[in-house]
Structure 1
Amino acid sequence: MKSIVEYKDYRAYMADFYEERKRTSAFTWREFAKIAGFTSPSYLKLVCDGKSSLSRTKMNRVAVAMGLVGYEIEYFEAMVNFVNAQKDNVKKVYFDKMMAISAANQVRVIDKDAFGYYDSWKNQVVRELAPMMPGAMPGDMAKVCCQEISALEVRKSLAFLEKAGFLKQVGENVYEQTDKAVAGSKEGLTLAIRMMHREMGRLGIESIDQFGPENRNVTGVTLGVNREGYDEIVKELDACRKKVISIAAKCGKLDQVCRLNLQFFPLTQRVERESEE
């Protein structure tokens, strides 16, 4: 069975624990519940099936029943709180705690790199900018950024990007992008991307006052649709995004880093219409 720090969903860990015990012994959900001190023989199965959740008062009993000790219990409890949290800012607190526990016990988890990449606009901009400015010092790169960033922050970003494999240094202050994709668990990466979209959305709003219309393109339309129309528009937006990436890939000498935000979202709830006679 994998180390607990390779998990981001406590239900998946519990299910794997159960399957491993069942494979090597006559283990049942009833026995699992009994060891954890629960009267309902099906409670833990309902939790693993996503039909119930572990509470703060119950998660320690389950951790002990699975034989977890030391930092494993701490990690399991942080994982329960991470999955159960409803707000992203709360999720991030527990996600950071999970990463800290992994680091303290010298266990490398790819989510840390993936989350770090999306955690700020700075890493994404520096990754695109560094290959455009061979030989440039961090201070030089900081000066061409439209958003505030210091030379020290650029230096830290370069070090992170190189260590995580997003950039490769091929000469003194000369960098190339690697082909490495950002990969991580579904839970951790989804949270990181949601937070990234919020930050990029904020930068998009600020661009309205920061740049003139000749240097930015901000348009929008409000319209009524049904479910079929919505799905068709989403496909068109996805095709547009892929076309934009294709155009950028064909560019010759690059000289600027830009951001494209595609946003299509509801302004109302769905209106229930009476069927026509």
Structure 2
Amino acid sequence: MVARINVFQYQDYRQLLLALIEQRKKDRKPFSYRWFSQRAGLTSPNFLNLVVKGKRHLSTESLEKVVEIFQLNKDEGHFFRHLVHFNKAKTLSEKEHFARQLLHIKKFQNEYPLSKEQFEYYSKWYHIPIRELLMLKDAPQTEDEIHDLLLPSVSRPEIQEALEKLEALQLIEKKKDRWQVRQESVSTGHKFSNFGVVQYHKKMLNLAAESLDRFPAQEREISSVSIGLSEETAQKIKKMIEEFRSQLIAVAEEDKNKERVYQINFQLFPLSKRNEK
């Protein structure tokens, strides 16, 4: 008998299904798409084939039949259900929810050791500003100093946790009792970690709204414009924003006299439905 596959290595449930099918064939166990449909009580003999090809999604009922027929154990079944729900999620918030669930599964963490830390790096808004604070000309070095500078403030235990997380991700290091930022950029490792950024964007949008009351006009720049665009021009403007963001990063990297951490947001989103006429 062929060694059992490690289901926790997979990030796409369709690829996992294919692997389970191949293993069943190698073990000389009966399998065909028609056989599966009969065992699962499905009316379409080709249903699972359509799922594997990306033309259909597993329903809640058919998902449970996969768990049963392919004899997934309790932990494997739990993982497979969350993986299906993640792949089926239609909004970023839904994907963020199921990504968080997956990254809390211990056996999945074993396959991607830094994945949970990377997810948390994005999902907790203050991790990135704290790292930026450590690049200032007179960089704070203690939890108290960071606490006194960060706006809005977070607790000292959260600051301590953030420093430990940043060090674990090799984004900062301590040399001669001083925190220093390493030059390496953040590597997400795999796609699930990316979805932690949803919470980061939401928090920064809220902070932008709050800044209208918290800071005088000379310390902020909040402006917006509503305009009619073709799809082609909208994509052109999106590209302009991406290029401008890259230019801003380059300017910031050249600044050797950093005194304060700023947040710069860009937003481009529809305010109307597409006119099909």
**TM-score normalised over the length of structure 1:** 0.85
Contact 2:123 2:196 in 1 (8 A): yes
Query: What is the CA-CA distance between 1:140 and the residue it aligns to?
Result: 0.7
- In the alignment, residue 145 of structure 1 is paired with which amino acid? L
Q: Does 1:215 align with 2:196?
A: no
Query: What is the CA-CA distance between 1:69 and the residue it aligns to?
Result: 1.4
1:112 corresponds to = 116
Equivalent residues in 2 for 1:1-277 (5 A)?
A: 3-19=6-22, 28-34=32-38, 36=40, 38-86=42-90, 88-102=92-106, 106-132=110-136, 134=139, 136-186=141-191, 188-273=192-277
In structure 1, list runs of 5 or more residues that go unmatched.
none
- Greater CA drift, 60-69 or 137-146: 60-69
* 3-state DSSP of counterpart to 2:180: strand
- In the alignment, residue 43 of structure 1 is paired with which amino acid? F
Query: What is the CA-CA distance between 1:244 and the residue it aligns to?
Result: 0.7
Query: What is the CA-CA distance between 1:240 and the residue it aligns to?
Result: 0.8
- Structure 2 Cα separation of the partners of residues 4 and 151 of structure 1: 39
Change (3 A) 1:82 1:104: closer
- Structure 2 Cα separation of the partners of residues 110 and 29 of structure 1: 37
Per-residue CA shift, 1:136-163, capped at 9, x if unaligned? Answer: 1111101101112111111100001111
- Greater CA drift, 255-264 or 87-96: 87-96
- RMSD over aligned Cα atoms: 2.8
Per-residue CA shift, 1:93-142, capped at 9, x if unaligned? Answer: 43333222226974435432331111021111112112435561111101
* 3-state DSSP of counterpart to 1:218: coil
- Structure 2 Cα separation of the partners of residues 12 and 233 of structure 1: 36
In structure 2, list runs of 5 or more residues that go unmatched.
none
- Greater CA drift, 171-180 or 136-145: 171-180
Query: What is the CA-CA distance between 1:198 and the residue it aligns to?
Result: 1.6
- In the alignment, residue 72 of structure 1 is paired with which amino acid? E
- In the alignment, residue 180 of structure 2 is paired with which amino acid? Y
- In the alignment, residue 140 of structure 1 is paired with which amino acid? E
Contact 1:121 1:200 in 2 (8 A): yes
* 3-state DSSP of counterpart to 1:214: helix
- Structure 2 Cα separation of the partners of residues 143 and 163 of structure 1: 24
* 3-state DSSP of counterpart to 1:78: helix
Contact 1:75 1:98 in 2 (8 A): yes
- Greater CA drift, 239-248 or 76-85: 76-85
Q: How many residues align?
A: 272
- Greater CA drift, 215-224 or 56-65: 56-65
- In the alignment, residue 6 of structure 2 is paired with which amino acid? S
- Structure 2 Cα separation of the partners of residues 227 and 14 of structure 1: 38
Query: What is the CA-CA distance between 1:23 and the residue it aligns to?
Result: 7.1
Query: What is the CA-CA distance between 1:199 and the residue it aligns to?
Result: 1.6
**TM-score normalised over the length of structure 2:** 0.85
